[in-house]
């Protein structure tokens, strides 16, 4: 079962997305801040990060910067309520696709499926699994 | 100094000299004696005598020869010389006068008559000296006068003149003497205007440069051939000053007429300001003709409110400079908002003769102020919109996602009552949050404003936070703490404007903390019932130099292109319009706190603005603690 790390500071959004992703068959770890996301990612074992771009403390872009350093190959999807101020451009610089809130849940699930498939294709010949991290396998 | 007259007695007879000396009053005369003519000349050369008593017949040099020689000595030409002749014969008397004697006396000389004779001569000498001195003084005065003075005879020929005349005409006295005044002044050209004795004439002469006032004094009868005294006074400078004055009067008149400000001159008449003068700008602005304005009371051109104000204002402005806002009514009934400035015009005694009034049209300025406030709000709204979009999109995500999820579950037949219950609750809560944000935004954006209502300041604060808190927290890493006093009395305020004040202060606080920080909003009650609002940040603080200017329009410490600089000046304007005050306290590197004080509103009555305030804080940039 593929594992997704979800970070959003809004409780209701977090609960909604966690529920939908689990229904769709993923294992989900949900956190409320960028810092928590980084800590969870360091433990490893995730196939995809789904991040809200605007969170208190470390914002989305800052979180992405750290995640890219410690786990460069894990695909990341961004979510943002605001499409201006170059957040999308900043995110795409790290090869992160940013999706605008509100998004249709089916569209979100399709995007996740697509990202995971792409990641599997590019990493399959090199690595045995898609859940490796530089901190080693944990599961 | 010895005031006595010096008498030189010349006689070869020693006894005769003694008798003569004894005859003279020693209180009035000093005596020198000489035994013959030669000795007399030597003494006279050393000490010039005032009177000489001279014996006609003496050995070696007789009295006649001595007298002749004395007369040739400088200073002795005029002194009395009394010749003492031996016998009374016509020949010797004639001879005495021929050589210059003043008088003669015949031997034998009686002392009394000698004394009388000498006294008379001395008196005559003194009188003559006085006359001569007076003449010299008069001539010196005559020459010292700057005016040209020329004396003419019956034929108009110059008989005498002073030094100024010679200097100005560039002639010597000899060249001038006997020439006609007309020729001297006018040359070949015909005489222009001749002054009469009573009326001097200001004129120019072809032979002189500059302007002169020409006066003539007729003498009643010929005195030494003089019939008329001409006095020419140089008035070139005065004439020039007059011309300059006239030219500047014309210039100022034109300036007054053509100046782009509305200008009036009024005078008090039975307590009414009557218009004496008016310029084009005033007429053009009000659409009246000059004759419709002159002589009428200024009150005619005021609206009712200004008329009422004028009654009090006129009493003040009659006597001192005065500034007020007034409303003028055009001929077509349109109103013009003006700022009036008056200045009393005083005569030399300091009495006010008229009042100058200047009006500046501020109608556009007032409209502009309103527009600026609106555009400032739009600018705020622009920065808000970004945050608001995010505020709205998160709950919308919950609503759409959750409802979609419910639909799916129902299709699959897996929808439980419990799940429906919690999901609908979540949807409901988030939908209301959207509605609340939309309401707050609408309330703020609603441009009309202007309605003052009693409001709980805390409610306005919570609204403002609803729009900005998430943005500040998520984007700028700013923690917002509130300490709101819950039992606040209402404040009479324009919800919009107070929200604008708060959002501005919050935005400023955010910009002061680029690396995040904390904003504390506090409300509290003042002892006298007023309401305090504090907005404190933990930002970089405001430099001391900027504090004084912080409430000035267009003053900004933000980089070019960021911030219009209108924020705090508008905030101050709004706070003051609410009867409140604003001041701040700032420490560089520690943070800034803005203090706002508003009167509270209790049962249709406004309580005074709280007066208590901490020492060392700044109000409108002015240090109160230093």
pLDDT digits (tens, 9 = 90+) for B424-443: 999 998 898 888 777 777 76
Residue B609 has pLDDT above 70, yes or no: no
Does ipTM come in above 0.90? Answer: no
- pLDDT band of B52, cuts 50, 70, 90: very high
- Domain co-membership, B193 together with B48: no
Quote the percentage of chain B above a pLDDT of 70: 86
- pLDDT band of B268, cuts 50, 70, 90: confident
Domain count along chain B:
4
Residue B67 has pLDDT above 90, yes or no: yes
Residue B135 has pLDDT above 60, yes or no: yes
- Domain co-membership, B580 together with B556: yes
pLDDT in tens, B495-516: 878 888 888 888 888 888 888 8
- Domain co-membership, B97 together with B197: no
Chain B residues whose CB is inside 8 A of the A106 CB are 404
pLDDT score for A136: 43
- Domain co-membership, B137 together with B153: no
β-bridge partners, B198: none
pLDDT score for A62: 85
* Helices and strands counted in chain B (H then E): 18, 24
Mean pLDDT value across residues B302-324: 73
- Domain co-membership, B9 together with B116: yes
Domain assignment present for B401: no
Compare all CA atoms of chain B with the CA of A104 and give the residue at the minimum distance.
B401
β-strand pairing of B262-269 with A3-7? unpaired
Residue B24 has pLDDT above 60, yes or no: yes
Contact A101 B394 (CB under 8 A): yes
The residue to which tokens 């995500």 are assigned: B397
pLDDT in tens, B329-374: 888 888 888 888 888 888 878 788 888 888 888 888 777 777 776 6
| Phi and psi angles of residue B152, each rounded to the nearest 5 degrees, phi first | -120, 160
- pLDDT band of B69, cuts 50, 70, 90: very high
- Domain co-membership, B103 together with B218: no
Number of residues that this document lists for chain A: 139
Residue A6 has pLDDT above 90, yes or no: yes
Choice between B174 and A30, residue whose per-residue pLDDT is larger: A30
Instruction: List C-alpha distances in Å: A137 to A46, A71, A129.
Output: 10, 12, 10
Mean pLDDT value across residues B386-415: 85
| Phi and psi angles of residue A50, each rounded to the nearest 5 degrees, phi first | -120, 110
Residue A43 has pLDDT above 60, yes or no: yes
- Domain co-membership, B137 together with B149: no
Choice between B255 and B610, residue whose per-residue pLDDT is larger: B255
Contact B398 A16 (CB under 8 A): yes
Chain B residues whose CB is inside 8 A of the A102 CB are 393, 396-397, 399-401
Domain that holds residue B86: 5-141
Which residue from B508, B532, B509, B533 is spatially nearest to B519, judged by alpha carbons? B509
Distance in angstroms (rounded) separating the CA atoms of residues A65 and A77:
13
β-bridge partners, B7: B31, B51
Q: Which two tokens stand for residue B506?
A: 């919050």
Chain A residues whose CB is inside 8 A of the B473 CB are 56
Chain A residues whose CB is inside 8 A of the B474 CB are 9, 54-56, 59
Domain assignment present for B373: no
pLDDT score for B564: 47
pLDDT score for A40: 92
If 0-12 CB within 10 Å is exposed, 13-18 middle and 19+ buried, where does residue B246 land?
exposed
Domain assignment present for B330: yes
Domain assignment present for B400: no
Contact A105 B430 (CB under 8 A): no
3-state SS track over A1-42: CCEEEEECCCHHHHHHHHHHHHHCCCEEEEECCHHHHHHHHH
CATH of the domain at B55: 3.40.50.2300
Terminal alpha carbon distance of chain B = 77
Mean pLDDT value across residues A56-68: 84
Instruction: List C-alpha distances in Å: B56 to B28, B50, B81, B578.
Output: 25, 19, 11, 122
Choice between B52 and B606, residue whose per-residue pLDDT is larger: B52
Contact A59 B397 (CB under 8 A): no
Contact B393 A81 (CB under 8 A): yes
Compare all CA atoms of chain A with the CA of B423 and give the residue at the minimum distance.
A16
Of B261-270, B284-293, B544-553, minimum mean pLDDT range: B544-553
The residue out of B238, B270, B286 marking a domain boundary is B238
- Domain co-membership, B571 together with B423: yes
Contact B477 A57 (CB under 8 A): yes
Domain assignment present for B10: yes
The residue out of B121, B141, B161 marking a domain boundary is B141
CATH of the domain at B302: 3.30.450.20
CA contacts within 13 A on the Cβ side of B87: 3
Chain B residues whose CB is inside 8 A of the A55 CB are 474
Give me chain B's average pLDDT, please.
Answer: 82
pLDDT score for B449: 54
How are the residues of chain A apportioned to helix, strand and coil, as percentages rounded to the nearest 5?
A: 45, 15, 40
- CA-based Rg of chain B, rounded to a whole angstrom? 54
Domain assignment present for B285: yes
CATH of the domain at B451: 3.30.565.10
Of B389, B402, B429, the CB nearest to A81: B389
B interface residues, A as partner, C-beta within 8 Å: 386-387, 389-402, 404-405, 426, 429-430, 473-475, 477
- Domain co-membership, B63 together with B102: yes
pLDDT score for A25: 93
Distance in angstroms (rounded) separating the CA atoms of residues B256 and B277:
10
Distance in angstroms (rounded) separating the CA atoms of residues A56 and A50:
16
- Domain co-membership, B492 together with B557: yes
Domain assignment present for B88: yes
Q: How many CB pairs under 8 A join A and B?
A: 72
- CA-based Rg of chain A, rounded to a whole angstrom? 14
Compare all CA atoms of chain A with the CA of B389 and give the residue at the minimum distance.
A82
Choice between B450 and B187, residue whose per-residue pLDDT is larger: B187
Domain assignment present for B577: yes
Contact B426 A12 (CB under 8 A): yes
A interface residues, B as partner, C-beta within 8 Å: 9-10, 12-13, 15-17, 19-20, 23, 54-57, 59, 79-85, 100-106
The residue out of B141, B174, B199 marking a domain boundary is B141
- Angle in degrees, 0-180, between the axes of helices B567-577 and B363-412, rounded to the nearest 10: 100
All domains of chain A in start order, with CATH:
3-123 (3.40.50.2300)
Contact A12 B389 (CB under 8 A): no
- Domain co-membership, B357 together with B476: no
Write out the E strands in B13-170: 29-34, 51-55, 81-85, 103-106, 148-152, 158-161
Residue A113 has pLDDT above 90, yes or no: yes
- Domain co-membership, B515 together with B441: yes
Q: Which of A7, A23, A24, A56 to mutate to test the interface with B (most CBs of B within 10 A)?
A: A56
């Amino acid at each position: 079962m593929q594992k997704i790390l979800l970070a959003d500071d809004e409780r209701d959004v977090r609960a909604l997305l966690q529920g939908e992703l689990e229904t769709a068959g993923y294992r989900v770890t949900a956190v409320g801040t960028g810092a928590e996301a980084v800590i969870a990612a360091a433990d490893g074992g995730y196939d995809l990060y789904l991040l809200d771009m605007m969170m208190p403390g470390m914002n989305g872009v800052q979180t992405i910067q750290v995640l890219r350093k410690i786990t460069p190959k894990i695909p990341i999807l961004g979510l943002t309520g605001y499409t201006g101020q170059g957040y999308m451009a900043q995110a795409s610089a790290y090869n992160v696709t940013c999706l605008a809130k509100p998004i249709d849940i089916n569209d979100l699930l399709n995007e996740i499926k697509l990202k995971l498939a792409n990641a599997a294709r590019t990493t399959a010949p090199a690595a045995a699994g898609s859940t490796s991290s530089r901190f080693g396998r944990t599961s | 100094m010895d005031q006595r007259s010096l008498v030189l007695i010349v006689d070869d007879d020693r006894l005769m000299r003694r008798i003569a000396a004894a005859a003279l009053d020693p209180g009035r005369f000093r005596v020198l004696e000489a035994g013959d003519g030669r000795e007399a000349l030597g003494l006279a050369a050393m000490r010039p005598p005032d009177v000489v008593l001279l014996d006609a017949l003496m050995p070696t040099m007789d009295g006649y020869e001595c007298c002749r020689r004395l007369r040739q000595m400088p200073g002795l030409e005029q002194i009395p010389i009394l010749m003492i002749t031996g016998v009374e014969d016509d020949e010797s008397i004639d001879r005495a006068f021929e050589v210059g004697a003043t008088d003669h006396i015949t031997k034998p000389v009686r002392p009394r008559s000698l004394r009388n004779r000498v006294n008379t001569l001395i008196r005559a000498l003194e009188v003559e000296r006085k006359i001569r001195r007076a003449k010299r003084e008069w001539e010196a005065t005559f020459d010292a006068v700057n005016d040209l003075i020329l004396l003419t005879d019956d034929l108009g020929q110059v008989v005498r003149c002073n030094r100024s005349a010679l200097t100005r005409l560039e002639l010597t006295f000899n060249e001038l003497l006997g020439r006609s005044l007309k020729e001297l002044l006018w040359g070949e050209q015909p005489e222009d205007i001749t002054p009469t004795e009573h009326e001097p004439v200001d004129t120019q002469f072809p032979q002189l440069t500059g302007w002169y006032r020409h006066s003539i004094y007729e003498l009643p009868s010929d005195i030494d051939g003089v019939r008329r005294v001409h006095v020419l006074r140089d008035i070139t400078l005065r004439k020039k000053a007059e011309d300059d004055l006239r030219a500047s009067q014309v210039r100022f008149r034109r300036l007054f007429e053509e100046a782009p400000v509305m200008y009036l001159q009024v005078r008090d008449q039975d307590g009414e300001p009557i218009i004496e003068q008016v310029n084009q700008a005033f007429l053009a602005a009000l659409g009246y003709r000059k004759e419709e304005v002159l002589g009428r009371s200024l009150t005619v051109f005021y609206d009712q409110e200004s008329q009422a104000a004028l009654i009090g204002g006129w009493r003040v402005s009659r006597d001192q400079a005065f500034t007020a806002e007034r409303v003028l009514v055009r001929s077509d009934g349109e109103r013009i908002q003006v700022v009036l400035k008056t200045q009393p015009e005083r005569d030399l005694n300091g009495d006010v003769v008229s009042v100058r009034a200047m009006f500046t049209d501020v109608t556009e300025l007032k409209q502009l102020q309103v527009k600026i406030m609106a555009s400032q709000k739009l600018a705020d709204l622009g920065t808000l919109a970004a945050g608001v979009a995010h505020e709205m999109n998160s709950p919308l995500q919950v609503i759409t996602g959750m409802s979609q999820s419910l639909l799916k579950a129902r299709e699959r037949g897996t929808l439980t009552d419990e799940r429906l219950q919690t999901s609908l609750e979540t949807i409901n809560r988030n939908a209301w949050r959207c509605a609340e944000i939309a309401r707050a935004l609408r309330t703020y954006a609603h441009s009309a404003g202007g309605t003052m209502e009693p409001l709980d300041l805390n409610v306005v604060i919570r609204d403002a936070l609803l729009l900005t808190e998430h943005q500040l927290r998520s984007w700028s890493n700013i923690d917002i703490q509130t300490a709101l006093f819950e039992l606040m009395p209402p404040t009479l305020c324009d919800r919009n404007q107070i929200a604008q004040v708060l959002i501005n202060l919050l935005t400023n606080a955010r910009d002061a903390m680029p690396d995040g920080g904390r904003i504390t909003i506090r409300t509290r009650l003042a002892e006298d019932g007023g309401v305090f609002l504090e907005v404190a940040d933990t930002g970089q603080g405001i430099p001391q130099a900027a504090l004084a200017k912080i409430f000035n329009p267009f003053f900004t410490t933000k980089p070019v292109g960021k911030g219009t600089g209108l924020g705090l000046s508008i905030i101050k304007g709004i706070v003051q319009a609410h009867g409140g005050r604003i001041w701040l306290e700032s420490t560089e590197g520690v943070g800034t706190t803005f203090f706002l004080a508003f009167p509270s509103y209790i049962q249709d009555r406004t309580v005074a603005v709280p007066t208590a305030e901490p020492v060392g804080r700044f109000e409108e940039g002015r240090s109160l603690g230093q």
